[in-house]
Structure 1
Amino acid sequence: MPLTGDDFTLYSRTTATSNSEGSGRWIACDESGNDGEQLLNGRYLVYASVAVDDAEAADIVGELRREAQIQQSAELKFKAFSGRWANRRHVLRRLWEPGGALEGRCAAYVVDKEYAAVAKVVDLLLEEHAWAHGRDLYQAGEARRIARVLALQGRRALKQEGFRYLLENFVAFASQRAVKNGEAAAAETFYNRLDAAWAASTRREVTELLFRLRATRPAGNALRVDAGPFPLLEMLVPCIAETARYWAKHLGEPVSVLTDEQKTLTDERLGALAQVLGRTSGATPSSRIRGIALQHLVRGTSLDHPSVQLADLLAGATAAVAARHAGVYSAVSEDLYASVIPLISDESLLPYDHASVLAAPGAATH
């Protein structure tokens, strides 16, 4: 059922999408693993996109159904290809591989949610503190390097329980509820935990980083002044932004984005995001990003849009492949990982330089 109410009236689309000179190329998107600001629920968030409009998607979905012998249900969902259906997965692989109907028109943006929490610690606290003191942490990739130190060494420095507890307190501190309500107790708890982590750290680089973070209380307090229209820890919004920029670069402009509807994607937020994407933005000179020509940014359901059904297939497959990297094996991931890995963007929010690392099986921890 489409979302209803005053927050979901302006940007909901039920009519079919169609590529045209005015709208440019349509990009259909769907997600898997989204838990809003609860970044420590589950390991990965996948945001999959397919450069196809509904007219062409309807034909592709129909052909998929015929080849895979799927007749039930009004919508084509990834679960129809899971379990014992190896023959169906063969049909799916052919769709994405060279010569397939969607060759070169699929992309998946993967977020390691624990790493995202660490990156938010750097972006919201350390970067703000550094900028106030005349330093640009985005220059020469310094912010990314710091985030990786904490993500890859933090568990060893603080042990599993200590590292997890630190991130849990940060998520509680930076959540929309705590920020909007000005919950001083959440901030006090986080910084107390930060002090304890600094004292307990057994790795020099992590200890030094935690020491620097202890000085960020002013930046932490500033979060409560003007948090803006987006929840600070909501990753679905940056996923949409990265996807729109990816396709604008690869297909040319303008582009139009149709994303599967989610409660967090209110009219206010979609409108604000469209404005952000249309202009040059960035916290510091070295993090500036050029605006793109975004013709439409709308939400819709997979029932109304066969193009979103195709995005759902890629999202489900990528989620299974990411789970394989985390040590969760399945027949689905074994059958599909070789086809899916090349579709994952290297700009994904991962503690690696290249998304191809996700092809390695069984890495249950960083």
Structure 2
Amino acid sequence: MQLKRNLMLVAISLSTLAVSAQNTQSSGQVTEEGKTAFKPHWYMQVQAGAAQTVGEASFKDLISPTAALSVGYKFNPLWGIRAGVSGWQAKGKWVILPDSYKFNYLQGNVDATLDLSNLLCHYNPKRFFNAYMFLGVGVAGGFNNDDAVALDEAGYHMQYLWSGKKVFVAGRGGLGANLRLSNHVFFNLEVNANVLSDKFNSKKADNADWQLNALAGFTFKFGKSGKKPKPVVSYDIAPTPVETVVEVKQEPAPVVTPAPVEEKKEEVKPLTENIFFKINSAVIRSSEENKIADLVAFLQKNEEVKVSICGYADAATGTASINQRLSKERALAVEKALKAKGIAADRITVDFKGDKVQPFSKNEENRVAICITE
């Protein structure tokens, strides 16, 4: 029952961690102009160190060797997943025994990871110290429990004795740090705790057994974890002259006098341009530059026309406060592009709605700044 309660606590902690990472994900991926953007990537960790099985003996008496090999994937600057194998040797001891007894185990793990450095300090691929935390579950297979079997046969009755092979479910969590040596190699330090069934060390203690690990090794990053954004391409567009139609009236009279020249004004139809952005970004993509160019040409041709810009963010990503700021930055980015092309500030009106209004049915289409002339 105690193990079940511990596993439930691990599950609840994982859910809380997922919500926290979702709420902060946007701040980790917002890319300013000229900064490096995050790119998802794989990595591998090779670790070795010491393990300590919590028991009825002094700390040093229950220390044993351990090792781990893991492969992980980072989806975004904050959130990732890791799978691996760990284990080697574990020890147990009773206060009535002169010596400890040894057994072996091998544990498969699946962990959810959270990058603490990116969470607290924003994404920086050149940072030397990168801390992380993780929570996960595993399945441990115990074997070579001959020492405990011999003790039981010698008269030390062990209520949870097992022989041959035994499988245990584990919950785990820990902290780690990667120290950057190069773009692809990091020195790794990690401490973790694994909670297993009370039967893990063959003794009945009426509480879960704990295996503590201190590890050191290396993290190898595959592929590119960051990429530079493409430079914004600007276009110089010459103003198009306004065509006028002159109508001349002639009166039947001996003296022909020219009629007043009247300019026939054409009705200007409103123009709408939707400038779409990448997720958690306020940088105008090169694929949207032609829309900016069309809007500039229209405003230069119709000098009496004004334009209103309203920024939005999709409600499925980030928090209300982050989306409010992101929608404002998108509207201001379009305003800045228009001013750079000579459009006067008094012809531009800027507004932003955050994620309170969703003008489109698809989430990705709500990452937009809508421009409407009037």
**TM over 0.5: same fold?**
no
RCO greater where, 1 or 2, for CA within 8 Å and sep 6 or more?
1
Rg comparison, structure with higher value: 2
- Structure-2-length-normalised TM-score: 0.19
**Is the strand fraction higher in 1 or 2?**
2
